[in-house]
């Protein structure tokens, strides 16, 4: 793992609602952040998004499973996100695997997360979750 990727992984996995002021150490001012549900442009917008995320969910934890630099300034992090949300899965712990593609120079300027949005959200909503699990079962 590259030194920078290791640094980023350690700092990102230790973020919480009280440490979001340190985002400027990780991300450039013009960062683009994408995941299956959002596109966020700029550090201020990313800070607002993460502030809301940490305010609405509990026990948020990223466990970094590995990291690979594919070329200088570009790499992947593999992770598991664990969290609780009062309106999902009756507040039980939800675990989600995913990966992040990062581009950086001194700091990250592009962050793309890949994960199953259904596993994150839709499968844990009472009526919709049952239907999605039933459909997934039929596809296997």
**Beta-carbon neighbour count of residue 127 at 10 Å?**
7
* pLDDT value of residue 140: 53
Alpha helices in 14-139 (DSSP H): 23-26, 43-56, 117-120, 126-139
Give the chain's mean pLDDT: 84
Domain boundaries, the chain: 3-139
Reduced to 3 states (helix: H, G, I; strand: E, B; else coil), residue 100 is strand
What are the residues facing 108 on neighbouring strands?
27, 104
State the pLDDT at residue 89: 62
Beta strand 108-115 pairing with 94-104: antiparallel
- CA nearest neighbour of 66 among 130, 121, 123, 2: 2
> Can you list the residues of the chain whose pLDDT is less than 50?
124, 128-129, 136
- Look at residue 70 in the predicted model and tell me its pLDDT: 94
Per-residue confidence (pLDDT) for residue 124, from 0 to 100: 46
What is the model's pLDDT at position 54?
Answer: 84
pLDDT at 101: 98
CA angle 54, 58, 61 (to 5 degrees): 80
- Model pLDDT, residue 23: 95
CATH for 3-139 (1.20.810.10, 3.40.190.10, 3.40.309.10, 3.10.450.50): 3.10.450.50
């Amino acid at each position: 793992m590259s030194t920078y990727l290791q640094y980023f992984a350690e700092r990102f996995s230790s973020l919480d609602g009280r440490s979001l002021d340190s985002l400027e150490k990780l991300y450039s001012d013009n960062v683009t952040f994408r995941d299956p549900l959002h596109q966020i442009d700029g550090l201020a917008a990313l800070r607002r998004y993460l502030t809301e995320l940490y305010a609405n969910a509990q026990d948020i934890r990223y466990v970094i499973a590995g990291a690979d630099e594919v070329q200088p300034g570009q790499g992947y992090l593999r992770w598991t996100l664990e969290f609780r949300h009062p309106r999902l899965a009756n507040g039980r712990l939800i675990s989600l695997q995913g990966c992040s593609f990062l581009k950086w120079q001194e700091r990250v300027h592009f962050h793309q997360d890949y994960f199953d949005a259904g596993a994150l959200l839709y499968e844990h909503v009472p009526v919709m979750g049952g239907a999605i699990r039933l459909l997934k079962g039929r596809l296997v």
